[in-house]
């Protein structure tokens, strides 16, 4: 066995070179024991090529997945695309008997995505309004102010917040958050902000756009703050030192040295959070109230694009109904792809060029 090893080290054909070929063509009588052993192991050129093709195939499958999603949703929404066209997203119908405006009537096959688009936009906007200042504040605290001992556990805690499943947020919201809002927060909002007509106390359940906005804010906070932290750590230390050397206070250093350099990336982080909020399904489905209506009051029941799919798809009454829901899904897909792509580009613009580092 030892001589074999030495021989192997000396005669190992260079992978990919035509050596292996010439050896095979040599007359059989001249092949020594060692050579035969080596030949029996074969040339690795084929194996190498095959392996790299296989890995390429795996990588390309990601493109295939995205194309497949787009194609299937497109095919599934043909019925409503043909019947309503783009009006699907803004039209409204009038009930022939009550003369009230309505948007969603599966029985008579009248579909309009308007209340769902509205609900998605309103709840996501509310979520951003609450989450962005908190997330940026948290990121500033963690990168610039926090004592070293606290940094790691706090970062870990926010990471956990990102890993909690949507349905558990929903469960918690139904049993803890919504009663809290109903008993304590909503009355205050009506009392102090009632004049804006955005808060109206005729919904006794505590569900609605506002509750959805609050739970969404909690859910997108960790994403925004961890990405903000990432772009802030990507700002070179020399920037901070330069501003400090001019006699700036810590806040001035953060404002001029860090935030100004990282602002594009922070916008990217916020947009990514928006993307998550737009597509969030379960937690919102559990607290938004599931009513296909448009209400001015933020405390009223509503519905959103993702939640209407979740609530109705398995029990859809007709092909038209399925098609309408699939078209909402298609719109959601296109919007989230655009939003995510934009966010990736912005974040990449800031973190590009910085080496991988401990965050």
Whichever of 228 and 297 has its CB closer to another protein, that residue is 228
Binding to another protein, residues 70-89 (CB under 8 A): 72-73, 75-76
Whichever of 298 and 306 has its CB closer to another protein, that residue is 306
3-class SS letters over the chain: CHHHHHHHHHHCCCCCCCHHHHHHHCCHHHCCHHHHHHHHCCCCHHHHHHHHHHHHHHHHHHHHHHHHHHHHHHHHCHHHHHHHHHHHHCCCEECCCCCCEECEECCCCEECCHHHHHHHHHHHHHHHHHHHHHHHHHHHHHHHHCCHHHHHHHHHHHHHHHHCCHHHHHHHHHHHHHHHHHHHHHHHHHHHHHHHCCCCCCCCCCCCHHHHHHHHHHHHHHHHHHHHHHHHHHCCHHHHHHHHHCCCCHHHHHHHHHHHHHHHHHHHHHHHHHHHHHHCCHHHHHHCCCCCCCCCCCCCCCCCHHHHHHHHHHHCCCHHHHHHHHHHHHHHHHHHHHHHHHHHHHHHHHHCCCCCCCC
21 makes contact with another protein (CB under 8 A): no
Whichever of 110 and 132 has its CB closer to another protein, that residue is 132
55 makes contact with another protein (CB under 8 A): yes
356 makes contact with another protein (CB under 8 A): yes
Binding to another protein, residues 334-353 (CB under 8 A): 336-337, 339-341, 343-344
183 makes contact with another protein (CB under 8 A): no
Whichever of 217 and 297 has its CB closer to another protein, that residue is 217
- Minimum Å gap between C-beta 59 and another protein is 4
- Minimum Å gap between C-beta 329 and another protein is 4
Binding to another protein, residues 239-268 (CB under 8 A): 249-252, 254
* Integer Cα distance of 179 and 47 in angstroms: 63
Whichever of 118 and 297 has its CB closer to another protein, that residue is 118
Could you say which of 169, 199, 209, 210 contacts another protein (CB under 8 A)? Answer: 169
Could you say which of 21, 52, 196, 205 contacts another protein (CB under 8 A)? Answer: 52
Give the x-and-dash track for 313-332 against another protein (CB under 8 A): xx----------xx--x--x
Please work out, in degrees rounded to the nearest 5, the angle formed at the alpha carbon of residue 201 by the alpha carbons of 196 and 204: 155
Structure tokens at 264: 């594009």
Whichever of 125 and 141 has its CB closer to another protein, that residue is 141
Stretch that binds another protein, among 42-50, 95-103, 108-116, 188-196 (CB under 8 A): 42-50
Binding to another protein, residues 118-147 (CB under 8 A): 133-138, 140-142, 145
192 makes contact with another protein (CB under 8 A): no
Structure tokens at 321: 């109904």
Stretch that binds another protein, among 7-15, 18-26, 98-106, 197-205 (CB under 8 A): 7-15
Interface with another protein: number of residues (CB under 8 A): 96
221 makes contact with another protein (CB under 8 A): yes
């Amino acid at each position: 066995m030892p001589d074999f090893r030495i021989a192997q080290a000396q005669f190992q054909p260079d992978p990919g070179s035509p050596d292996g070929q010439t050896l095979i063509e040599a007359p059989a009588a001249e092949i020594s024991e060692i050579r035969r052993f080596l030949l029996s192991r074969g040339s690795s050129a084929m194996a190498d090529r095959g392996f790299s093709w296989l890995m390429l195939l795996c990588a390309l499958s990601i493109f295939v997945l995205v194309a497949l999603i787009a194609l299937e949703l497109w095919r599934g929404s043909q019925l409503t695309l043909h019947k309503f066209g783009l009006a699907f997203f803004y039209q409204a119908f009038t009930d022939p008997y009550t003369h009230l405006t309505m948007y969603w009537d599966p029985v008579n096959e009248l579909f309009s995505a308007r209340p769902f688009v509205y609900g998605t936009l309103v709840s996501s906007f509310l979520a951003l309004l609450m989450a962005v200042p908190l997330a940026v504040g948290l990121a500033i605290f963690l990168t610039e102010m926090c004592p070293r001992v606290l940094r790691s556990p706090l970062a870990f805690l926010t990471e956990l917040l990102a890993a909690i499943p949507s349905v558990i947020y929903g469960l918690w919201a139904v049993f803890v958050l919504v009663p809290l809002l109903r008993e304590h927060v909503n009355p205050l909002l009506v009392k102090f902000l009632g004049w804006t007509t955005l808060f109206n106390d005729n919904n006794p359940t505590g569900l609605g756009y506002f509750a959805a906005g609050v739970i969404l804010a909690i859910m997108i906070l960790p994403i925004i703050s961890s990405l903000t932290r990432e772009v802030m750590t990507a700002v070179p230390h020399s920037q901070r030192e330069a501003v400090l050397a001019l006699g700036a206070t810590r806040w001035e250093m953060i404002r001029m040295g860090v935030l100004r350099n990282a602002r594009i990336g922070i916008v990217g982080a916020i947009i990514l959070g928006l993307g998550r909020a737009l597509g969030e399904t379960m937690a919102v489905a559990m607290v938004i109230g599931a009513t296909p209506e448009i209400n001015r009051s933020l405390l009223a029941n509503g519905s959103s694009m993702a939640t209407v799919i979740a609530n109705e798809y398995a029990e859809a009454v007709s092909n038209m109904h399925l098609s309408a829901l699939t078209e909402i899904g298609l719109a959601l897909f296109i919007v989230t792809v655009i939003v995510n792509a934009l966010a990736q580009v912005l974040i990449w613009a800031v973190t590009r060029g910085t080496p991988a580092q401990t965050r």
